[in-house]
Chains A and B, each alone.
Chain A
Amino acid sequence: MLWWPTRRGLDMKMELIQPFINAADAVLADGLKGPISIASLTMEEEAYRRKGVAALVWVTGDIEGRMVIDLDSETAVRVASQFAGEELPSSDILVKETVCELANQVVGNAITSLNDEGFHFRAHPPVLHTAELGSKGTEDTEALVICLETGSGDVYMNIALRYKQDLAQPRAAGPERGLA
């Protein structure tokens, strides 16, 4: 399980983020048959800028927001080829499809953990993120960019989530949860 220490500025809502990191670790390690590590984790300061092939998944319910999985074009081809078990040309639609399915599996597995912890929300089908720029995160949505280092290249997760308004107060007043 990957774990990232809490730092000033990153300590809020890590209980929401950690399941996504764990899910990405599990899904990527399974598909790429190799170790995954966190290269960096940063707060998003500017509007999100797409790096290459990106898939976006919206979530709604007790927790709302979105997650983007983003890989530069060369990494996307390598990762998709590994997942597909065959060399794919960069033009192949399966490259984009694989990135979408990767996002779907990461969000699905994270939702599974969070639902079993009492949060109720659902994921929508993944869509290709084609815009160069995305919306800027706010204090409320906490956009974090996590760079995962894999044997095939870096995989970026951009996560912006928040508790639904009416649930925010009781949660914020509660004890901080562990990250492991």
Chain B
Amino acid sequence: MEQFAAVRRSKDGQPVRYLIVDDSVFARKNLARMIESFGGQVAGEAGDGMTAIAEYEKTKPDIVLMDITMPQMEGIEAAEKIVKQHPEARVVMVSSVGYQENIVAALQRGARHFVQKPVKPEVLYEVIKYVLGDDAVVANAAGA
């Protein structure tokens, strides 16, 4: 997989920490590989919305990558509950269902961005940088 210039937290220079939420083990593994290529760190994983809320409380990640169609509690509802409790939470929806109505619903309920599956690493990378804004710095090629 292509390597990207590492995205780090601007406050302490540490790797960005991610919570990956998807009911597919394959999808989680795939996203974890992309996160590694961005210089990030997987803080936790969840396979449904309910577990995602608990994992968020436990890990306090910098970014949540959240699927939509999941058993028990769907991603949009989980995102809303997380953001209600933690308005600073940055939730990026990652789903194959990307019609306008769905995207608008996700954004209205607290998600910061939407990425459609199949996920292209270069697209996710740009979205991560955009969502983190000034809270992230991109290391130069020498890894500074």
Bound together: yes
Residue numbers of A with Cβ under 8 A of B are: 26-27, 30-31, 80, 83-85, 93-94, 97-98, 100-101, 104-109, 111-112, 115-116, 120, 122-125
Closest CB of chain B to A104's CB: distance in Å?
Answer: 6
Q: A31-B118, A85-B33, A123-B97 are in contact. Are A108 and B26 (CB under 8 A)?
A: no
Say yes or no for B86: interface residue by CB 8 A criterion: no
Query: What is the chain A residue whose CB lies nearest that of B23?
Result: A125
Q: A84-B26, A123-B69 are in contact. Are A30 and B118 (CB under 8 A)?
A: yes
For B1, list chain A residues within 8 Å (CB).
Answer: 85
List 9 A–B pairs whose Cβ atoms lie within 8 Å, in order of A's numbering.
A26-B118, A27-B118, A80-B26, A94-B26, A98-B26, A104-B96, A108-B117, A122-B97, A124-B69
Say yes or no for B10: interface residue by CB 8 A criterion: no
Partner of B69, one of A108, A112, A115, A120: A108
Say yes or no for B101: interface residue by CB 8 A criterion: yes
For B26, list chain A residues within 8 Å (CB).
Answer: 80, 83-84, 94, 97-98, 100-101
For B120, list chain A residues within 8 Å (CB).
Answer: 30
Q: Is the Cβ of A105 less than 8 Å from the Cβ of B25?
A: no
Measured in the bound complex, the distance between the Cα atoms of B30 and A56 in whole Å is 21
Q: A97-B24, A112-B98, A115-B101 are in contact. Are A105 and B29 (CB under 8 A)?
A: no
A-B contact count (CB 8 A): 68
Closest CB of chain A to B122's CB: distance in Å?
Answer: 13
Q: Is the Cβ of A104 less than 8 Å from the Cβ of B99?
A: no
Q: Is the Cβ of B24 less than 8 Å from the Cβ of A111?
A: no
**Which B residues, 1 to 57, have Cβ-Cβ distances below 8 Å to chain A?**
1, 23-27, 29-30, 33
Measured in the bound complex, the distance between the Cα atoms of B25 and A94 in whole Å is 7
Q: Which 7 A-B pairs have the closest CB atoms?
A: A108-B96, A115-B99, A97-B26, A108-B97, A105-B96, A101-B24, A101-B26
Partner of A105, one of B23, B70, B118: B118
Closest CB of chain A to B55's CB: distance in Å?
Answer: 19
Closest CB of chain A to B68's CB: distance in Å?
Answer: 9
Q: Is the Cβ of B97 less than 8 Å from the Cβ of A97?
A: no
Measured in the bound complex, the distance between the Cα atoms of B96 and A122 in whole Å is 12
Closest CB of chain A to B118's CB: distance in Å?
Answer: 5
Query: What is the chain A residue whose CB lies nearest that of B103?
Result: A112
For A106, list chain B residues within 8 Å (CB).
Answer: 96
For B85, list chain A residues within 8 Å (CB).
Answer: none
